[in-house]
A and B are shown apart, each in its own frame.
Chain A
Amino acid sequence: DADVTQTPRNRITKTGKRIMLECSQTKGHDRMYWYRQDPGLGLQLIYYSFDVKDINKGEISDGYSVSRQAQAKFSLSLESAIPNQTALYFCATSDQRGANTGELFFGEGSRLTVL
């Protein structure tokens, strides 16, 4: 089984629908992240969480919300999906302590298409 699991792997939805992407990890890491990948734009940080009580906005948080239900679970919601949110979404975890950021461990991605 994968250490970082994302569900669903693929989703097609319509404009205005609420969508939740879920991420669970078995690595025991405190830090979890949601990134968005668009072709030719690399990865952009949406939200991140350093522990269950800590949620922070990233570069492109508008239109998204998150919930850290437990150390192992971090979900990303699109309250009212729009077509320009069509992208590949990645969850990642990190075990780094302190100020530095160490190695990230990524899930396999959730491909979202908004029609």
Chain B
Amino acid sequence: SQQGEEDPQALSIQEGENATMNCSYKTSINNLQWYRQNSGRGLVHLILIRSNEREKHSGRLRVTLDTSKKSSSLLITASRAADTASYFCAASSISGYSTLTFGKGTMLLVSP
């Protein structure tokens, strides 16, 4: 079963605009992570936010976490054509085995 569910499934914006992707998860977590995947390539880790954190920044990325709503958002500011990729959230559950459960992803297209 999917732990994380991203919204929207696809997002199309112009260069320079901000892109916001949302993720909802089902169980209590230790941390939530965001990954990027260029078409047909391996996933690359972007950022990790722990359950006791509410917001985290890394360059043009801003991640928020609301554990009461079991949701997270990834904001990419001043997007570039090179940001075109699929973005996945992944939850590390507080119970059970220590692995990541991935959502279905948001496909982001940034047009020049």
CB pair A42 B98 closer than 8 Å:
no
Q: How many cross-chain pairs have Cβ atoms below 8 Å apart between A and B?
A: 65
Residues of B within 8 A of A (CB): 1-2, 4, 30-31, 33, 35, 40-45, 48, 88, 90, 92, 97-105
- Residues of chain A within 8 A (CB-CB) of B105 are 42
17 chain-A/chain-B pairs, Cβ below 8 angstroms? A42-B2, A42-B104, A43-B43, A45-B100, A90-B42, A96-B98, A98-B98, A99-B98, A101-B30, A101-B31, A102-B31, A104-B33, A104-B45, A108-B41, A109-B40, A109-B41, A111-B40
Do most interface residues of chain B lie in helix, strand or loop, or is the interface mixed?
A: strand
Q: With the chains together, A42 CA to B88 CA distance in Å?
A: 8
A56 in contact (CB, < 8 A): yes
CB pair B43 A48 closer than 8 Å:
no
- A104 and B43 in contact, given A41-B104, A42-B103, A43-B88 (Cβ under 8 angstroms): yes
CB pair A56 B31 closer than 8 Å:
no
CB pair A108 B98 closer than 8 Å:
no
Enumerate the 6 nearest inter-chain pairs by beta-carbon distance, A residue then B residue, closest first.
A106-B42, A101-B92, A42-B104, A43-B102, A103-B45, A100-B30
How many residues of chain A have a CB within 8 Å of chain B? 31
CB pair A103 B48 closer than 8 Å:
yes
Within the complex, the shortest CB–CB distance from B89 to chain A, in Å, comes to 9
- Residues of chain A within 8 A (CB-CB) of B90 are 104
A1 in contact (CB, < 8 A): no
CB pair B44 A106 closer than 8 Å:
yes
Q: With the chains together, A34 CA to B65 CA distance in Å?
A: 27
Q: With the chains together, A40 CA to B102 CA distance in Å?
A: 12
- Residues of chain A within 8 A (CB-CB) of B88 are 42-43
Within the complex, the shortest CB–CB distance from A74 to chain B, in Å, comes to 14
Within the complex, the shortest CB–CB distance from A89 to chain B, in Å, comes to 11
